[in-house]
Structure 1
Amino acid sequence: MYTTSSAFLEVLIEQGVTYVFANLGSDHPALVEAIAEARALGRAIPEIITCPNEMVGMSAAHGYWQASGVAQAVVVHVECGTQALAGAMHNAAKGRAPMLIFAGASPYTQNGELKGSRNEFIQWIQDVHDQRGLVRGYVKYDNELRTGANASEIINRAFQFAYSDPKGPVYLMGAREVMEEAAPEVATDRSKWTPVAPAALTQEAVATLGHALMAAQRPLIVTSYLGRNPEAVEALAAFCDVTGAGVLESVPTWQNFPHSNLLYLGNQWNDPHQNEALALADLVLVIDSDVPWIPVHSRPAPGATIFHIDIDPLKAQMPLFHIDADGSFQADAALALRQLTAWLAGNQIGEYQLSDRKAGWKCLHDKRLQRLAILEAEPAEGTITPEYVVACLRTLSDEDMLFVNEGISKYPTVFNHLALDRPGSIFTSGGGSLGYNGGAAIGVKLAQPDKTVVALTGDGSFMFSVPSSVHWMARRYEAPFLQIVFNNRGWKSPKLSTLAVHPDGYASRAESLDVSFDPPPDYAGIAMASGGAFGLKVTEPSEIKAAIAEGLRVVREEKRAAVLDIWLAHL
């Protein structure tokens, strides 16, 4: 029988879904039956990826979208599985990652009135008042399938929300009786369910911004996630070439601008000092950034003109946000940049003015490279530095590598010393819930199986990632990747946060801040036991290059994951 569950699977195929990252439970008999029936009859359905942990499964869907641009599906078990998604749900919401999450629900009949009626004790316990409310603050759309008659329409509507900017996850649920119900076979015409078209700047806005750019002496672009669209990276490079604007990344979550470009001025995070480029700029154009600067540390110069272009300029999900912009515009970055570039073509900036701008920013660009070169030199005293590790990785990297960055306190180190130019070559969660990197690496590898995937993670993030599930899945679904663990034996970020607020307090003199992992787990051993991974502990700088080379060889030739447990100075 063609059921609501059959319709669910069919819409996924019609929406281009390749994988369902699933953690199945007692609420899914109809879905399990529909999957088995489709396989028996040769009906196309997405591949089912068994995910022993929900966080890993949703992180894999997140990574798959980042590497492909195609939203995937996640299936979890009632409200328990929904709650287990918590960290990954936060990351997908803050990282604006589209995906469909489907959870079953406890049956709503208890005496056998309908097929799927309650027949296990757990179904009374797992029946809660507002299951959808658990995620409502994090999803773009939530709904319940109440009948098979319009299930296809509801599912397609969910995808339309997910793909419309600002993109994000959507959540559907359905009780067992509904998923067992007969449903009409309705083919999806995807042309009728397209996302909302990207917005452009008005002519007035283009003129306002254009005139301001003409008058500026030191225009600066600040961005964080413009690179989610590779075309926007190209548009930004073209725009900067005709304007002489410098580019500063603030808490970047994507590859936003080529690091080799002489107008690239680096990336800022929690640095407790004034950014030089931000202080020099007399016009700051913020494009697609959630945190363009941290006012207590760094901000534009007094009197600087500030404009803001964003797919989400009001930051609707942030209770507190304001940057004193002189003009704020909701627009797609690629479209807006092309509009401004075209306007400036007819109102050319003077040759001397343009060369002066570029020369000024090039000076800062070159100074930055000199500082980085000093940091990444091979350590002389036997203590491995993260800068040296990433520099060694860079020398062994090629155009076929994709990177997943969850270095936390090492976030800037990874971006700075990989020094990437390619759009779509590095990904972060975009959120603040740790544990994204392992599942995301699997998703990236599934999306681009011919690429070599490298995940860089702190030791705390490694444990948050549920490595036993990650490495089991990597082996089961032939998605090997190299995982580099920055092991400083603890959570460094809470220590840094505390000392930033209490530099001379009791914590600064305490022997322990309760954030250490001494003695540390055997990270490589966990991966070896869970998924047959290659594992290696590295404690000497002289071992780094050979260890990375061997890890890459294992991933590429033996097709199994590799974990390098690299010991840094103690936190």
Structure 2
Amino acid sequence: MYTTSTAFLDTLQAHGVTCLFSNFGSDHPALIEAIAEARSAGRSFPRIITCPNEMVALSCAQGFAQATGEAQAVLVHVECGTQALAGAVHNAARSRTPVLIFAGMSPYTQHGERKGSRNEFIHWLQDVQDQPGIVRGYMKYSNEIRSGANAAQIVSRALQIATSDPKGPVYLTGTREAMEEEATPADLAMDHWRPLSPRALAGRDVDEIAEALDVAKRPVVVTSYLGRNPAAVDALAAFCAATGAGVLEASPAAMNFPHADPHYLGNYWNDPKQNEALAQADLVLVIDSDVPWIPMVNQPAADATIFHIDVDPLKQAMTLWHIAAKASFEADAETALNQLLAKLGEPDATNANERTRRWAALHEARRSRLDEDAADAGKLTTAMVTAALRRHAGEDALILSEGITNYGIIADHVAPALPGTFFASGGSSLGWHGGAAIGMKLAHPGRDVVAITGDGSFMFSVPSTVHWMARKYATPFLTVVLNNGGWNAPRFSALAVHPDGYASRANDLDLSFDPAPDYGLIAAASGGSFHRKVTRPDELETALGQAFHAIRQEGRAAVLDICL
């Protein structure tokens, strides 16, 4: 029988969803039956990826979508599984990643009135007043599938909303009775459900920005996630080559600009100091950034002209947000940059060359500092480790960064050159890297995937689930644990607010992981992963060689526990 569940699977397939990252429960008999029936009939449907932890499932879907731009789907168990999605919901929302989450609901009948009626005691315990309310504040759209008659339309609408800018997660539910209901296959006109086309700047807005650029002496672009669209990276590079504008990254969540380009001026995160290039800029073009600077310690000059172009310029999901922009525009970065290039035509070469020389001098000074930082100082440092890792990985490896207090150093020394090769979660809930690495490896099985993480975020990632999945689904990747013995981020936060307080003098702030877990053994026990602890600089090269041999030749994941 063709059911609502069959329609659900068929619609995901029609929209190009590759994987359904699944944590099944008692609310899913109809879906389990529909999957078994489709396999028996040889009918295509999204690949089922079993995920023993829901947060890992959503992180997998987020990673796959970040690496491809294609929406993926997650299936969880009623309100229990919805809550177990945990911080991954925050990450998917803040990173504006298109993901469809489907959760069952407790049956609405109890005497056998409908197929799927309540027959287990948990069906009463899992009956809550507002299940979608658990995640509603993070979703672009939520709805309940009540009938097979329009299930395909509801799923299509959800995916259309998820994949239209600003992109984001959507949440659907369905009771057992609804998912068991007989349905008629829908004749979907897929053109009716395409995401909205990228938004362009209005002509007068192009004119205003172009006029300001024409007279600026020191223009700078600040971005955080422009590179989620790889084509926008090429557009920004062309824009900078034509105008001589410099580029700064504020807490980058993507590869936004090639680090070797002389217009690249570096990145900043929570640095408690004024950025030199930002202070020098007389025109700042903020493109796709949630936090372009932290005004307490770092901001443009008071007389700088600021324009803001973003897929989400109002930041309506944030209760407090403001930058002193002369004007803000809702537009797609690639489209807007190409509009500006077309308007500028052939800019004044003398002016562009003068700008380029200014920024190139800062670029070279920065490069020299980074080379010194990466040199062997007789001890393991994040800079040395990341620079060595970059040499082994190569330019086309997919690098995931969740190093928290080491974010800036990692970005500096990974120094990505190619669009679509560097990623952060885009949010602030830790544990994203493990599932995301599996999702990215599923998306690009022929490429190396490397996750760089702190020891705290490694623990958050549910490594037992992650490494079991890596073995089951043949998604070997390398995890580099930057082990500093505990949580440094809360320590830095406390000392930033109370530099001379009791915490500054305390020997123990309850933030250490002592006695330390054996992170490599956790991975080995769960998935047979290669593992090695590195305690001295002279061990690093050999350990990296062994780890890359494991993921490339042996087909198993690897964990390097590096004691900084």
SS at 1:137 equivalent: helix
The farther-off stretch of 8-17 and 350-359 is 350-359
CA drift at 1:349: 3.3
Residues 37-116 of structure 1 mapped to structure 2, 5 A cutoff: 37-116=37-116
**2:502 equivalent in structure 1:** 506
Question: Alpha-carbon deviations, 1:314-370, whole Å to 9, x = none?
Answer: 00101010001001110000000000011111xx43332221111110111011111
- 1:201 matched to which residue of 2? 201
Q: Equivalences for 1:245-264 in 2 at 5 Å?
A: 245-264=245-264
Query: In the alignment, does 2:478 pair up with 1:472?
Result: no
CA positional deviation for 1:263: 0.4
Q: Residue 173 of structure 1 aligns to a residue in which SS?
A: strand
Deviation at 1:401, TM superposition (A): 1.1
What's the counterpart of residue 448 of structure 2? 452
Q: 1:354 aligns with which of 352, 370, 374?
A: 352
What is the correspondence of 1:157-172 to structure 2 with a 5 Å cutoff? 157-172=157-172
Match of 1:555 among 547, 551, 555: 551
**Structure 1 residue 303: Cα displacement:** 0.7
DSSP 3-state at the match of 1:434: coil
Letter in structure 2 aligned against 1:373: D
Residue in structure 1 matching 2:370, options 369, 372, 390: 372
Q: Tell me how far 1:549 sits from its aligned partner.
A: 1.1
The answer to whether 1:487 aligns with 2:462 is: no
The match for 2:434 among 433, 438, 442 is 438
Residue 423 of structure 2: aligned partner: 427
2:538 aligned with 1:542: yes
Secondary structure, counterpart of 1:542 in structure 2 = helix
Q: What is the aligned partner in structure 2 of residue 279 from structure 1?
A: 279
Q: Which runs of 4+ in 1 moved over 3 A?
A: none
Q: Which residue number corresponds to residue 414 of structure 2?
A: 418
Tell me, in whole angstroms, the C-alpha distance in 2 between the residues paired with 1:379 and 1:550. 23
Q: Tell whether the 8 Å contact from 2:438 to 2:477 is kept in structure 1 after alignment.
A: yes
State the Cα distance separating 1:375 from its structure 2 match.
0.8
- Name 2:306's counterpart in structure 1: 306
1:533 aligns with 2:529: yes
1:16 alignment partner in structure 2: 16
Contact 2:395 2:417 in 1 (8 A): no
Partner amino acid, structure 2, of 1:26: S
Give 1:13 deviation, angstroms: 0.6
SS at match of 1:473: helix
Say yes or no: does 1:156 pair with 2:152.
no
Q: Secondary structure at the match of 1:166?
A: coil
Q: How much has 1:17 moved relative to structure 2?
A: 1.1
CA distance in 2, matches of 1:349, 1:161: 39
Secondary structure class of the residue paired with 1:148: coil
Q: Tell me, in whole angstroms, the C-alpha distance in 2 between the residues paired with 1:537 and 1:362.
A: 40
Q: Secondary structure at the match of 1:486?
A: strand
Q: CA deviation at 1:477?
A: 0.4
**Structure 1 runs not aligned, ≥5 long:** none
Checking the alignment, whether the CA contact within 8 Å between 2:396 and 2:418 is kept in structure 1 is no
What is the DSSP-based 3-state SS (H/G/I as helix, E as strand, rest coil) of the residue aligned with 1:375?
A: helix
Equivalent residue number for residue 118 of structure 1: 118
2:402 pairs with 1:406 = yes
Q: Which stretch of structure 1 is more off in the superposition, 276-285 or 365-374?
A: 365-374
TM-score by length of 2: 0.99
Q: Report the equivalent of 2:561.
A: 565
The amino acid across from 2:185 in the alignment is: E
Letter in 1 for 2:544: I
Tell me if 1:32 matches 2:28: no
Matched AA of 2:548:
L
Paired residue type of 1:162? A
Structure 2: runs of 5+ lacking an equivalent: none
Deviation at 1:148, TM superposition (A): 0.8
> Hey, what's the Cα distance between the residues in 2 that align with 1:294 and 1:487?
28
Which residue identity lines up with residue 375 of structure 1 in the other structure? D
Note if contact 2:251-2:268 (Cα within 8 Å) is conserved in structure 1. Answer: yes
**One-letter code of the match for 1:483?**
T
Q: Which residue of 2 aligns with 1:223?
A: 223
Task: Choose the corresponding residue for 1:386, options 382, 385, 392.
Answer: 382
- C-alpha displacement of 1:86: 2.0
Per-residue deviation, residues 12-57 of structure 1 (Å, max 9, x unmatched): 1101111110000000000001011111111111111110000101
Q: 2:238, 2:525 → 1: CA distance?
A: 49
RMSD between superposed Cα atoms in Å: 0.7
TM-score (ref. length: structure 1)? 0.98
Residue identity opposite 2:192 in structure 1: K
Segment drifting more, 348-357 vs 53-62: 348-357
